[in-house]
Structure 1
């Protein structure tokens, strides 16, 4: 007989479009299965501080289209300590919370994994991160919205680039993963894409510009913020010295990639996975992330999902595709 009567839900780490849709799905699935659902504010920090709220149908009404997270999110140093995790566990027991759904990325699942090993407490994860850097799911919640935000911004930048015959270097998020840069760069028709998974090198970039078409009215280079060449401003300064004839501009998109109304794809993904997370807990799953692979729902242990960036898209075939399309 299942002993879960009260499920806690939290969002942790960087916010991602679609987190609210996931919260909504968890709450309504919990209600559907006659469970109490408790919202935990500010991620693991709220868990340590017992910052809990009761959630019902009304508390998640009209949020599926909203970016960010109504439960807020925060980094929590205290949860990294045994004392902090003990306090979090005591708060869960004191408030009769029997299981957790955690929505986040690498850091969120790392913390959950340690917590489960110490206290054997049921926890299921939902992949909420714009970076798409988790194994066990084709796409993470927020990734589709983020890349569409980048493509929309780059389309606008290209209008200016073509009007003034400029070369724009556009920096996007992706300190450890270049998948935002890769997909959005292809979608926006970038002439070059620099990502941390592949050592492109400044010499390669300069060679591409030297041998590329000279009659193009604009050129767009997409660079992930973690690219080892040194970031958009360093690249811009280097190219100005090498190509004094170019009118070079740098644009850093920054946190606009995190915000905004989630795409339909992210809303549907978050909704489906949120319901499956609740059902998974009721069926005895724990220590796993719920994901979607080839349109099928799968469970992946936290330690296998963490830091297993999908390098497949950065394979030689994808890089050749970029080279062909940039002619």
Structure 2
């Protein structure tokens, strides 16, 4: 139900109220790097790195024969690196059969492949430019922190999407620093623990089950208008509720805007830049999901028992799904950054 998204958002963000300034500063530093990624070409770096990966994988494949090969397997490092992204999430262990150790060429090539798979994301980002390299490094550094705040069962993709939406909410109204971050997190806690928020949960679920006509949307907007929260708490609820209408319920911008205005909601909540920011957050969440899906591809390869077929599949996926996912990720963060910056920057200039 749509209410689940709002419940999850408020619950997760409220956990940050008591977080240390130092840890929140880490998130803000990553966010700043994201906003300032700028224009860049990633295809050249990706093509170059994957040419190396493909060459190594094909050499391992060509040197491997079923009679004396051991299945490639994920090791403990793969599990401990799960909060990274891409190939570093599931590094391939070197082939370890005793008979293969005697075959120095296979042993050497499989180790080279394993080592390269473990660093390909950072290798690509460094070849693009310093801004991208710094962002990817900070992104990976923060993953454990972000996941540690999540209630049981909440995935990293959702956590990151909620954080991006939350920081946009803070940044469009004031300066994004640790003090204001915690102030808004406290507002999330207040709303989450209030009885009045149940009106919004019920209204969201009702809207979700409706035909989503103008009248249905207007009825929901009337609920938002009637909330008796202080300004910060009210804005927090209204903005995320409208975001749910936009990205989950797929209600047209024009309909949301018209019915919000008819209900008397503040114009700034439904102006063009608000939807641009929501769309940028949506793009960011999408590319995070794309690159995290690479781990599923890798584990599917690990599940293949026949080592020859396993090596063949690895070569195919490197040139197909995995390479494509990396291109989607880097292109996606570039476009999301550009759109987010365009939507939020005017607010900041106005505030200044």
TM-score, normalized by length of structure 1?
Answer: 0.32
Higher helix share: 2
Higher alpha-carbon Rg:
2
Higher strand share: 1
RCO comparison, higher one (Cα < 8 Å, 6+)? 2
TM-score, normalized by length of structure 2?
Answer: 0.30
